[in-house]
């Protein structure tokens, strides 16, 4: 199977990559496989929704931050958590429902990038940090901090997976 390059183009003669959904199904990850990046085991939407409502643990923040390879400060900026709030959450051990939802969104975007690069975390991190012409020259990680921006990054990932030049 051909691997997408960071610019999105495949090597000449490479086969079309499988979609993220097909790869996840093959691995048995299910529709919510991205929750594993947070150290969660939710297998259905109701369980995941309840975990978000109760608030994710600080451990989930740290686990995803390490996967992304970001400093605590850079990751807090991505998920729109101010430094003082982050310090409080570290002491309390739990995030609010709204903050937890933003952590889940960042996890979903990173999981999409991982799928795009067939599990190559280094390539996914590099792509997220590289300016993308299809995003107006912005880096995917810089716009993924809002719901709209995250959806734009996910849409771009989908286009690249299907061989649509962007």
2 domain-assigned: no
For 50-71, the pLDDT digits (tens) are 999 999 999 999 999 999 999 9
| Residue 7 within any structural domain of the chain | no
Q: Is residue 5 part of a domain?
A: no
Residue 6 domain flag: no
What is the chain's mean pLDDT, rounded? 85
Distance CA 4, CA 38 (A): 25
159 within 8 A of 153, measured Cβ to Cβ: no
For residue 30, the model assigns a pLDDT of 57
Confidence of residue 21 (pLDDT cuts 50, 70, 90): very low
Query: Can you give the pLDDT at residue 94?
Result: 97
Contact 100, 52 (CB under 8 A): yes
Domain holding 147, by residue range, is 20-161
Evaluate whether residue 94 is within a structural domain: yes
Neighbours of 150 (CB within 10 A): 20
Q: What is the pTM of this model?
A: 0.79
pLDDT reported for residue 163: 86
**Among the residues of 117-164, which ranges form H helices?**
121-129, 140-143, 147-161
Within a domain: 13: no
Question: What pLDDT, on a 0 to 100 scale, did the predictor assign at position 147?
Answer: 94
Kindly state whether residue 105 falls inside one of the protein's structural domains. yes
Total domains in the fold of the chain: 1
pLDDT for residue 9 is more than 80: no
Q: What is the pLDDT of residue 164?
A: 82
What would the pLDDT profile of 104-137 be if each residue is shown by its tens digit? Answer: 999 999 999 999 999 999 999 999 999 999 999 9
Q: Is there a domain that residue 166 lies in? A: no
The residue with greater pLDDT, 79 or 165, is 79
- 57 SS3 class: strand
């Amino acid at each position: 199977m051909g691997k997408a390059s960071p610019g999105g183009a495949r090597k000449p003669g490479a086969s079309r990559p499988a979609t993220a959904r097909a790869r996840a199904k093959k691995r048995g990850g299910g529709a919510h496989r991205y929750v594993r990046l947070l150290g969660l085991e939710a297998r259905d939407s109701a369980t995941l929704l309840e975990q978000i409502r109760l608030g994710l643990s600080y451990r989930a923040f740290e686990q995803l931050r390490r996967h992304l390879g970001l400093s605590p400060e850079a990751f807090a900026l991505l998920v729109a958590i101010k430094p003082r709030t982050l310090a409080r959450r570290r002491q309390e051990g739990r995030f609010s429902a709204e903050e937890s939802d933003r952590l889940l969104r960042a996890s979903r975007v990173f999981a999409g990038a991982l799928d795009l690069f067939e599990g190559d975390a280094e390539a996914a991190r590099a792509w997220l940090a590289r300016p993308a012409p299809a995003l107006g020259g912005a880096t995917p990680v810089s716009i993924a901090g809002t719901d709209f921006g995250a959806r734009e990054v996910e849409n771009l990932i989908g286009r690249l997976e299907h061989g649509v030049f962007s």
